[in-house]
Structure 1
């Protein structure tokens, strides 16, 4: 067979060559198809091959594709297509999401109302304009708050409240949002929203404080005291308070919507320790605290500190959520000193008195005793102890006086700078009452800048304080009351302070003019309502000396007051003419307590005080005394 014949016969394999070992990538597809379709080698007719020819070197047969191979070829093509679908979906959803974001800020949901105003479907700008039109005129209306029987009315601006239309529209959905729920709500939702407020916190707090003064109920904390050496419990009770935050929240719901009254919101304030905890403290602290005296070991001495020495200073009080004992060192000082006189001596203050017409200082003296501050701290742990453990080991130390010799010398009390005296007829109640008041004032020392108060120094005029009943002026008439005549002590003291140049802080002339006193320059007192007060405005101390020379059947009584210091002012007094005269009427009194009196003319008068130093006028002051007219009082019925 010729070589040309072999080439043309499709049933014959080509001659082996280097180029036929590996198929060329550019092999014609028709040749490849023919190769795929050529019959098995066993079916081929015999071919003469050269000796040594190896037909295995021929291109290996190509296995025809099966259905499974075709399926495997389709799968990669499918896998290459699905990422495009996912990407397309993400792009579409992202576009919808971004569009939703811009949509949320374009208009409000269809069924939206703000403080009762319909703003559904409006753009934010139009919604704000509608709120201004409909709610703006109502902002000046008063707000009324009630709780129980209490009622308060405020103008909204006085509470620091004003409508914030922009914030109100934003809160109702008028601003853009990335929240998908807000996007859905813009399409299908809608609700009623309260008005948002601009709040001036200072004004709101001030209004809340005004309400709280009436509404708040202070919490009653658990407490144990020892009024007579035995524990007495104060039961806890809830308190009540109104807060700015609570009031504001209530206002948000009703502001510009509700008419009428607003219920004041309050919150309960619970005590730190309840009744059960109080009972535990009573049994574990209070009862053991008074079970026995406390033994004090001081040096070689051993004494018992009685329960009565420390219980006046002892409390078991609430601290946070527990009860703890507390001892007040100041309240402990007095009883402690009295109870431990066997250990030391009390400190003695310096004293200044007038002896033979001159001031004399009695030196102070330090004491030796226990320190109240130390005792207050170390006594607490042993109050719940028993047996040998109920004891303290302490050291007695020096106790300095409160008013030392050096303090007394520094006051510069060296001479009499003013004095005054008044007189009264022989009256026993005046002897008693004026003598008692004078004894309480005598020896009073005013340091520079310190104020004198008649009520504080003399105290209440009662039988327990050593006073009896006597004549006083009430409502322009003379009646009987405790302390009658004490105003003469006040008048005499006032004049001594007047001429010493002390500051007149408070004084009131009698309602009726009494001729035994200097015109316009006198003072009355009435416990709790009318006081005499003056301040030592000089750079030196003031010692007040006061005493009474009692009246008797042969002489009138004399009230004396002197001021001792270092001379600072020269005082000159003056008085104007009387003016604005007035007269009373005639009153008939059939009561058993009636005291007849003649008519007394009323008038005004000015009192002058001139302050001089080294002959030069430094300042002047004027005080006006106003005297009312006194009615003529006739005891009995009016004439027919």
Structure 2
């Protein structure tokens, strides 16, 4: 007998069970209540197992957590942050670089504030996390500290360059530079504060020259060598004159411009050798000048002339100096040449009296006598009209043999090295102080990486051609004449470098200084390269320099500048000695 299953019974047996609507509503109400309770609890205590800056604040009420955090970091809040690059170490006091703990914000960020995020609610019971502190950051102070480190660490890129001393090409090989990644270093310093005692490594990037050695060699072959292959023929009216290479090579350089080597002729430098080589063509215009005679400024009148205009000549010479044969000639015209600086211009400047003078002394060294005298010669007689800015590098030019400079000792990478132009910083420091006491506006100056005690503390400056400059603006109502001269040293006497500023006095300047602070101790460094210069250790420190301006005995304004000197390591020339063997036994 076959058993049959009722379809009616089967349908009844498979019917789904339904929950009453009020039951589902109750579940949702419970969840909502739990969610609201979780929100309220997140503001009552911190998540379990929470640490801030390595201080355990887990499960605490926010107010108690703030106090616990402040007490927990009390012995670290002023601890210096160490920054290192190779063998160099910099100590940074948190207060001096603008870092301070914001305890309340730190606790809020770690869960001390109410939140609707369910993950934060879950963390109240099951959380396990270490939070970095929230900081108050003075960006200006931090950037200043990073900038001081960068000035010590940075190695400027050296671009390919060709000059023509004695009328022959002298190429300078390009060299890659190394620059501090300043923003990245700032972030790393802030991240390290209160979180680690390990030194922060200085992040750097390599800066490749725009033109490599092959490009330089190509420029020598296609530009420099043709440029000195023979004279250029000048057709002046019915005259034909051979212009020798010595007439333009002092003003000729081959430099990197927009990624390629290109020849340049400086009209100002061209003027004198051009005039000397074309004496039969016209008469040179003479600019007015101001000279100091019998301790008084005297205007020497200008004179008009007739001759070859240096700017026009420079423009016409450039296309033909690399040519050969008949193409190596130009047609020029002798024209009236007005002086660029007239007698009226000189008299209108109001240069009437000495407004400041400053002298620094230096120990005997032949290279110091040579380099300081040459730099002084180049800046002597410079006139700054009101609003004009003086640039030491633009005025003196690159320190090369062709420019009259010799090898000497400079600071590079925090140690002494032998380079061209050593000793020029004495001229820079003296010029800076003369401008300081004349009341001129400080546009750019850079103290040495470490303090050299023959200079006025905090009021000294260094330069590095193409990278660091000394610049100041004539912010006075009248013109300023710079007078510079050297009394050279001898084996038994010190030398003296003097810079004077002449114009019309507007201010009496008073200098002041703060106590030295944030002392940094030197280390020991061994150097077995052939460029090593032995160096005694020098303590580092910070100091504020004040400049106060007075008129008729009344204070009108004041300025403050901070100099930060790094410690100078004790440098010993030679390999680092091997550590002693461990004792036996």
TM-score of the superposition, structure 2-length normalised?
Answer: 0.50
TM-score of the superposition, structure 1-length normalised?
Answer: 0.46
- Between Structure 1 and Structure 2, whose CA radius of gyration is higher? 1
Higher relative contact order (CA 8 A, sep 6+): 2
Higher helix share: 1
